[in-house]
Every structure is written in C-alpha cells, then in structure tokens.
Amino acid sequence: MPPIIETRNLTRIYRPDTVPVYALNGVDLDIEEGEFTAIVGPSGSGKTTLLNMIGGLDRPSSGEVIIDGTEIHDLSDSQLIDFRRTHIGFVFQAYNLIPVLTARENVEFVMLLQRWSREERHRRVLELMKAVGLEDKLDSRPAQLSGGQQQRVAVSSALASRPLFVLADEPTANLDSQSSGKLLDMMARLNKEEKMTFLFSTHDQRVIDRARRVVTLVDGKVDSDLVRDTVTPPS
Amino acid sequence: MVVTALALGIWAALAMTGMATGMMRSYVRSAIGIQTAHLQIHHPVFREQMESRYLLPEPDQLQTTLLSMDGVSGVALRSIAQGMVASSRGTRGVLIKGVDPGQELTVSTIGSKVISGAFEELENSNGILISVQLAEKLKVGLRKKVVLTVQDLSSTITSGAFRVVGLFHSGNTPFDEAHVFVHRRDLNRMLAAGQSGSIPGHEIAVLLDRPERAFPLADSLKQMWPTLDVNTYRQLSPDLQLYESQIGSISLIYLSVIMLALVFGIINTMLMAVLERTREIGMLMAIGMNRVLIFRMIVLETLMLSVIGAPFGLLLGAITIGWIGKKGIDLSSFSESLAEFGLDAMLYLEVDPQVWFQVPAAVLLTGVVAALYPAWKAVRLKPVESMKRL
C-alpha cells in the first residue's frame, strides 16, 4: 500500500533574494497509514516548516508533497483549503478552539463546513467526546475547560470529519505532565483502535517515548529515522 | 461601541432630518396659509401686469362651482391693487388685498396672526389691517389713520383714508412689510372710479383638504376654464416648489453624511477585530474554512452590529420626533432672524414615512460597505503567518 504522505526532495528557502535560509533542504519522507510518528530536532531544524508543508499551509520552494496520491504543491490556495478540510486534521499548540463556541460546536465545526447532516454530526460528536472522556463537557466553552481538556476537545475536533491523518504541533507544550499523559494515552488509543495516523512535531520526551517512529531533523535535513519495536506504555 | 455609534448616528440622522423637514414644511404651510392658499385663479394677464383692470369674469359662478368640488374646503374672492400706504411719518409701497373677512378666514390663517385689534373689524367701513413691522415703520398704531393710494380702473391716482383696526404678525417679515388688508368693498370703491355696479375681483384663492389635490385639480380647472390663469401654490411661489422638492434630498444628504462617518467607524472597529482574531482566522483557514466563508463571516458580523444598533436608533428617533413633533422646540429667541426667512419660531419635527425605510436600508448598506475592506484583509491572511506556527 502506498504511503499516505510522501515528500520528495522537499526544500523551503526563506529570503531567497538576500541571505537565503534553508528551513528544509531536500527532505524525503514517507508516512504509512496508522503511523504514530514524532518529528524531533533542535529549534530551527525545520520541524514546523515540514508540518506546514505536509499540511498544505505553506508551499515548498522546490520538491513535492504528495498526500494520498495528490500532489498538493500544485493545488491553488482554494483547492488547498478544500483539501485540508477533507483530508487533514490539525491540533495546534494553542488557539485550537473558537472561544465563543461550546465544545460540541467546536467539534461540529468542520463537519458543518462539510455539510454533514444534523444527525450525523450529533452522533459523531457524542462518539468522539466519549472517546476523549469529555461527554459531560459538551456545552462548556473553552474558557471553562482546563488546558488538557481543551486539547482533548481539539483532538476530537481534528478527528471529527474522519481525516486521513492528524498533524499535531507541540500538542503537549502548554500542558502539565498529568494532562500530557492523558492526552497522549488518548491519541495512542485512537491510533491503535481507529488506525488514525498521527504526525507530531515535538520537544516533549513523553511524546517521543510514545512514538513508534522518530524522525530527527537537523538544519533542514533528515538526520535519523528510527522505527521502534517497543514504545512506552500508557500511564 | 459600534452598536452605540450606530444607534446615535441613526438618532442624529432622524433628528436632523426631522428638523430640516419640519422647518421646510412649516415654511410651506405658513406660505400657503398666509400667501398663496393651494390654488389661485386670475385673469390670464393679471399676474404679469398687476393692473386693476384685469378682472375675473363671473367670479360668483366660479366660486359656486369650486365649492361644489371634492376636497375644496374654502374659496375666497379678493380684490388686489398695488399702491402706497402713508402716514404722517412715512410712506411704503404695498400690495393691498381687499378681502371678504368671512370668506378669507376659510382660506387663510391671517386671522390667527392678528395680535392686536381684530380681523373681523375689517367689516367696519374703511378699516385696515397692517403688520406690526409696517406700523413701526409708519409710526402708527391701533386706531390711527393711514392713507392708501392706488391707481383706479381709469388709471387715475386715487386715495382714501383708512383706520388701523388690527395689527398682524405672520412671522414672515418680507410678507408682513409688503401687504395690507382692507375690506373688498372698500378697495373696490376706490378702484371703481365712479362706475356703477360692483367690481368683480381679481383673485380667487382656494384651500383644499390635502395639498396634493392641488395639482390634479389645477389641471381639471385649466381644462374647464381655458381662458383663466390657474396656478398651484408651487407655481405661485417657486421657492415652495424648491423647498418641497428638497425635503427628500435633504434627508438623504443628512443620512449620507452620517452613514459616511459611521462607515469609517465601523471599518476601524472591524479592522481591529480582524487584527485581534488573526490567529483564530488563521486557524479557521488551516482547518478548511475557505476564503468565501471567511469573507461572509466578517460581513455578517458587521451586519449584525448594524442590525442590533439600528432598532435602538430608530426607537430613540421615534421618541424624539414624536415628542418634539408635538411639543415643538421654542426658537423665539431667534424669532426675528427666522421671520426674515419666513420661518416660524416654533419648530416641530417631522419625518416623511419613507425615511423610516430609508434609514434601515442605509444602515444595512453602510454595514455591507464597511465590512468589505476588513473582510478583504481577513481573506488575505496566510494561515502560517497568522498562526506563527502550525
């Protein structure tokens, strides 16, 4: 089965006309379905840039990004937005949730954009919020939730429309250890039970320990690509 | 803040429109009441030449026919002559109106403008009604004598002594200084130059129950009496036509100016909102909200502000206009200046019905226009730059 994410000689140069900075410098990467992969590296190594490219939020200076057979680097801005909506889930470090909407409404949001029926949305929201253990927080606003709870709602929101994979940029960066643990447990369970592919960018050792594959970037290049047989069990 | 600004802006637009409309309507009503009535009928050459010999034919028949028509609430026959009024202290050129007091009160408000003496005392032989301003200039008062001089039907200059039986103040200084009123019988006697039989009269004034009836009625009368000169109040006094035609324009101008100011306020507020929500908008684009939806979201949010603010403004405006429309604003400290322009000292706010629809429409349009630039700025955002990081 072909990888769901492929990058070919992916390069991103900032300020090419003055002092060029190679945020990515010829990255080749394949991600299979069901992977739980961490992208690690020092600050400035290109982790976020790589996730931006794969998520279609930024365009490469050269090279290719192929998601489920589609060369997304050739898509127009509008096509990219549509593609993201149907194929990719996002969990950001912060600002995941719309502050004026409840948890239920935040999770429903992408389904609304995809014009799911009311019944389908209702069913999926309950299913996801139960999966993340927050079925009693459906009508809470983000301000009424803890950081960990917000991130769990964000994961539900990212999974709501059944994307091909979820990109998570430092999802535990703002969480205490207990909340981080719960979040990781949940994502690992979803990865195992629903075969959901997760791709993280992280500094967090706890995330790294739970990842089955760890790709290390240094100066915009893949320094190492380690696949583990065993990972740290759930807390 | 935007909601409050909108509400106050609408209130201001309505209040200013109400003031302008009230002032103009007051002027028009006053002019109709004092000067023109709704229609006047003359000999075809009279208004141009202003000579006494251009008389109306069969005025009694004309009056009877007019009184039988729908919408006619008063008809008065007048004799008119240009002449001089003189006292021992001064002389003034005036237009002398010879009226039948009973008929005149059915077409004119002059009776209510008499502040000293009585309009009905014109029934007394050789009584004259002059304005307060004219009395001051001639240095005369109630019961004093003045001499009227006119050119009679045989073009002979003739004079007659009249006693002041009333002083009037219409609030329109140019009118007051140029007009005097006597009984039609007394003026006709001067004009008759010894001829037997009564002088028919020069002018029939018609008052209607509604001003808008004047125009179709004038057309009918012109067809019925093609040899007579029939004119509506707008034709008699073109400034009234100007005022009436400007009422609608004035309200639109006020509305436009206020909405223009509001546009910039709304643009500023929504730009700030877009700036503050840059990350949120970037996140929405990242998860798949397309630019059309982002654009629509910003526009709808702006419209919502307008829709919330508008009813408050309309309510405030309705209360203001309803209250001041009844009570009026007393501008008597400016009455002299206002009178120079023919304006009343009491100002009653009035707003035409269509303004109540124009204002909400203007508010919606303002909201849409004001939203365009902030919405454009929002859709130009790049998710990555907006969010700083994925």
Q: Is A27 exposed, middle or buried (0-12, 13-18, 19+ CB in 10 A)?
A: buried
CB within 8 Å: B293 and A113: yes
**Percent above pLDDT 90 for chain B:** 48
pTM of the model: 0.71
CB within 8 Å: A98 and B293: no
Query: What's the CATH architecture for A34-56+76-227?
Result: 3-Layer(aba) Sandwich (3.40)
Within an 8 Å CB–CB cutoff, is residue B53 touching chain A? Answer: no
State the maximum Cα–Cα separation within chain A, in Å, rounded to a whole number.
Answer: 55
- Report the candidate in B164, B372, B387, B145 with the shortest Cα–Cα distance to residue B286: B387
pLDDT 10s digits, B293-321 = 999 999 998 888 888 888 888 999 999 98
Q: What is the pLDDT of residue A180?
A: 85
The region that residue A167 occupies, defined by phi over 0 for left and psi between -120 and 50 for alpha, beta otherwise, is: beta
- As a whole number, mean pLDDT of residues B325-336 equals 77
Same domain, B283 and B312: yes
CB within 8 Å: B390 and A99: no
Same domain, B248 and B365: yes
Q: Of the candidates B177, B192, B227, which is a domain's last residue?
A: B227
* Domain extent at residue B87: 44-227
- Nearest Cβ partner of B383 from A48, A57, A167? A57
CB within 8 Å: A52 and B390: yes
Within an 8 Å CB–CB cutoff, is residue B387 touching chain A? Answer: yes
Within an 8 Å CB–CB cutoff, is residue B284 touching chain A? Answer: yes
Q: What is the pLDDT of residue B10?
A: 86
B380: closest chain A residue by CA: A77
Q: What is the pLDDT of residue B389?
A: 42
Same domain, B119 and B156: yes
Query: Residue B341: is its pLDDT beyond 80?
Result: no
Same domain, B209 and B273: no
CA–CA gap between residue A185 and residue A235 (Å, rounded) = 7
- As a whole number, mean pLDDT of residues B135-144 equals 94
Q: At what angle do helices A77-87 and B291-327 cross, to 10 degrees?
A: 100
Same domain, B95 and B180: yes
Rounded to a whole number, what is the distance in Å from the CA of A3 to chain B's nearest CA?
22
Q: Report the residue of B287, B289, B294 to disrupt the A interface, i.e. the one with the largest count of A CBs within 10 Å.
A: B287
- Report the candidate in B18, B8, B54 with the shortest Cα–Cα distance to residue B328: B18
- Report the candidate in A123, A182, A121, A124 with the shortest Cα–Cα distance to residue A149: A182
Q: What is the pLDDT of residue B384?
A: 80
The region that residue A77 occupies, defined by phi over 0 for left and psi between -120 and 50 for alpha, beta otherwise, is: alpha
Same domain, B109 and B200: yes
Cα B273 from chain centre: 45
Rounded to a whole number, what is the distance in Å from the CA of A189 to chain B's nearest CA?
23
Same domain, B359 and B211: no
Within an 8 Å CB–CB cutoff, is residue A201 touching chain B? Answer: yes
- As a whole number, mean pLDDT of residues A222-235 equals 78
Within an 8 Å CB–CB cutoff, is residue A95 touching chain B? Answer: yes
In a 3-state reduction of DSSP, which class is residue B30? helix
Domain annotation covers residue B306:
yes
Q: What is the pLDDT of residue A230?
A: 66
Residues of B in contact with A170 (CB under 8 A): 389
Rounded to a whole number, what is the distance in Å from the CA of A85 to chain B's nearest CA?
4
ipTM confidence score: 0.87
- Nearest Cβ partner of A82 from B280, B286, B290? B290
- As a whole number, mean pLDDT of residues B205-220 equals 93
* Residue B337 tokens, joined: 């200046």
So where are chain A's domains? 34-56+76-227
Same domain, B268 and B346: yes
pLDDT 10s digits, B156-206 = 899 999 999 999 998 888 899 999 999 999 999 999 865 655 677 999 999
pLDDT 10s digits, B360-375 = 888 888 888 989 999 9
With cut-offs at 50, 70 and 90, classify the pLDDT of residue B390: very low
A46: closest chain B residue by CA: B389
Residues of B in contact with A81 (CB under 8 A): 285, 288-291
With cut-offs at 50, 70 and 90, classify the pLDDT of residue B388: low
Q: What is the pLDDT of residue B195?
A: 60
Average pLDDT of chain B?
A: 88
pLDDT 10s digits, A86-128 = 999 999 887 789 999 999 999 999 999 999 999 999 999 999 9
In a 3-state reduction of DSSP, which class is residue A21? strand
Average pLDDT of chain A?
A: 90
pLDDT 10s digits, A183-210 = 888 888 888 888 899 999 988 888 888 8
Query: Residue B263: is its pLDDT beyond 90?
Result: no
Query: Residue A12: is its pLDDT beyond 90?
Result: yes
Q: What is the pLDDT of residue B198?
A: 65
